[in-house]
């Protein structure tokens, strides 16, 4: 049962959306902490570039493309839910986004498998420690986002809680943006 408090909007933004923004704010500082640590170490140790050279930019680029595409379907799902009130269509589009997340994770798994089998493990060098940690925390957000979207899509298909399509979309864009930071810092910077 929803308390009356939840229905008030003294700040002019729906409470749920406001909360999502605050969640993202706290996530930004978590990723900020990882990335700031990585950058401090990276700038202090130019020799890490040799390790970074072993990353596969093409796989990273492909994954960037996959994530951006999946964000597009999240935007379309939001549009379908808000302007067309079409829960079924929104659910289908969210399903597409989940598929994108799945492809991203499969590619990531293949990439990690290759790297680990070539001896580039999380223990082998601080660069790889950061590489797996940062991407691992990001991947856990991808998984969380996919699960959330599955629940939202299930409701949306029945026409329920359509406003949540937008909220989960905001979260997914955030996951996307984090990758946009990770990709150049981990893959491109040599």
Partner 1 sequence: MAESIEHPGHAGGHDAPHDHEMSFWSKYIFSTDHKVIAMQYLFTGMAMGLIGGFFAYAFRMQLAFPGMEVPGWGMVSPADYNSLVTNHGTIMIFWVAMPVLIAAFGNFLIPLMIGCDDMVFPKINRLSFQIFFVSAIVLLSSFFVPGGAFGGAWTAYPPLSANPNYSLTPMGSSIWVVAVALEFIAFLLGGINFITTAMNARAPGMKLYDIPIVVWMIVVASILFMASVGPLIAGAIMLFMDQNIGTHFFDPAYGGDPILWQHLFWFFGHPEVYVVLLPAMGITAEIITVFARKKLFAYRTVLYTTFGTGVLSFTVWAHHQFIAGIDPRMAHVFTITTLLISIPIAEMCFVYVATLYGGSITFSTPMLWALAFIFEFLIGGVTGIFLGASGSDIYFHDTYFVLAHFHYTFFPIAIIGTFAGVTFWYPKMFGKMMNDTLGKLHFWGTVIPFNLIFIPLFVLGAAGQHRRIYNYEHFPELSAPWMQDLRQVATIALVVMLGMQLVFFYNFFASMFRGKAAGKNPWKSNTLEWTADSPPPHGNWPEGLPNVYRGPYEYSHPDRDDDYWPQNVPS
**Spatial CA neighbour of 131 closest among 75, 23, 59:** 59
- Least separation in angstroms between CB 103 and partner 1: 26
| Residues between 37 and 76 that touch partner 1 (CB under 8 A) | 37, 40-41, 44-45
Contact set for partner 1, span 115-134 (CB under 8 A) = 122-123, 125-126, 129-130, 133
Output the DSSP codes for 117-145: HTT--TTT-HHHHHHHHHHHHHHHHHHHH
Q: How far is CA 125 from the centre of its chain?
A: 25
**Which of residues 5, 46, 117, 119 is near partner 1 by CB under 8 A?**
5
- Count, residues near partner 1 per rule CB under 8 A: 42
- Go through 82-116 and write b for each residue having 16 or more CB atoms within 10 A of its CB, e for each that does not: eeeebbebbbbbbbbbbebbebbbeebeebbeebe
The reply to whether 1 sits near partner 1 by the rule CB under 8 A is yes
Residue 2 sits in the site that holds partner 1 (CB under 8 A): yes
Least separation in angstroms between residue 79's CB and partner 1 is 20
13 binds partner 1 per the rule CB under 8 A? yes
30 binds partner 1 (CB under 8 A): yes
Backbone angles phi, psi at 159, to 5 degrees: 80, 15
For partner 1, which stretch binds (CB under 8 A), given 9-17, 74-82, 85-93, 147-155?
A: 9-17
CA distance 177 to 105: 16
If one asks whether residue 148 binds partner 1 (CB under 8 A), the answer comes out as no
Q: b vs e for 119-136, b when ≥16 Cβ sit within 10 Å of the residue's Cβ?
A: ebeeeebebbebbbebbe
The nearest distance, CB 88 to partner 1, in angstroms, is 20
| Binding positions for partner 1, rule: CB under 8 A | 1-11, 13, 15, 18-19, 22-23, 25-34, 36-37, 40-41, 44-45, 122-123, 125-126, 129-130, 133, 137, 163
């Amino acid at each position: 049962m929803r308390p009356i408090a939840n229905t008030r909007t003294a700040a002019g933004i729906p409470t749920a959306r406001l909360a999502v923004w605050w969640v993202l704010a706290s996530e930004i500082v978590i990723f900020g902490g990882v990335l700031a640590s990585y950058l401090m170490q990276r700038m202090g140790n130019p020799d890490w570039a040799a390790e970074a050279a072993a990353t596969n930019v093409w796989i990273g680029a492909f994954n960037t493309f996959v994530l951006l595409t999946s964000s597009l379907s999240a935007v379309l799902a939001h549009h379908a839910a808000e302007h067309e009130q079409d829960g079924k269509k929104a659910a289908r589009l969210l399903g597409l986004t989940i598929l994108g997340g799945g492809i991203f994770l499969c590619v990531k798994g293949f990439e990690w498998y290759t790297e680990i089998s070539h001896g580039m493990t999380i223990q082998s060098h601080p660069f790889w420690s950061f590489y797996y940690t940062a991407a691992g925390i990001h991947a856990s957000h991808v998984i969380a986002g996919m699960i959330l979207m599955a629940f939202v899509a299930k409701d949306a298909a029945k026409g329920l809680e359509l406003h949540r399509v937008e909220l989960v979309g905001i979260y997914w864009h955030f996951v996307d943006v984090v990758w946009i930071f990770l990709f150049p810092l981990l893959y491109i910077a040599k």
